[in-house]
Amino acid sequence: MMKQSLSQNQVAQLQECVSLAQELAHHAKANQSFAELRDRVAADNPVSAELLELLWNEVLAARRSATFWREMSDVEKQLSERIAQSHLQLRQNYERLMQEQ
């Protein structure tokens, strides 16, 4: 019974770690919390702790990658909006120039 309770606590702590890992700013806290969890798991099962560590590293890499591509997408969107605005301004300037002639 105690072991099951501990497992539920471990699952809850892992969920908290994953939640913290959503934002790069919280990665240090997420890593600290994960290290505590990994150490507790390692006390009972070192192989499981090693597997957990591998998966955790992949989670962090995926989060960093997702953040990078989200930021790239935002930059691309801003650039597209600026190009569209410049194009509109050029077109209006051209039309004004044609009317003056």
Pick from 25, 14, 36, 12: nearest CA to 63? 25
- In tens digits, the chain (101 residues) has pLDDT values of 445 555 889 999 999 999 999 988 999 999 999 999 999 999 999 999 999 999 999 999 999 999 999 999 999 999 999 999 999 999 999 999 999 98
Using alpha carbons only, what angle is made at residue 45 by residues 42 and 48, rounded to the nearest 5 degrees? Answer: 85
Pick from 35, 25, 28: nearest CA to 56? 35
What's the number of domains the chain is made of?
1
3-state SS assignment for residue 36: helix
Amino acid at 69: W
Domain that holds residue 55: 2-100
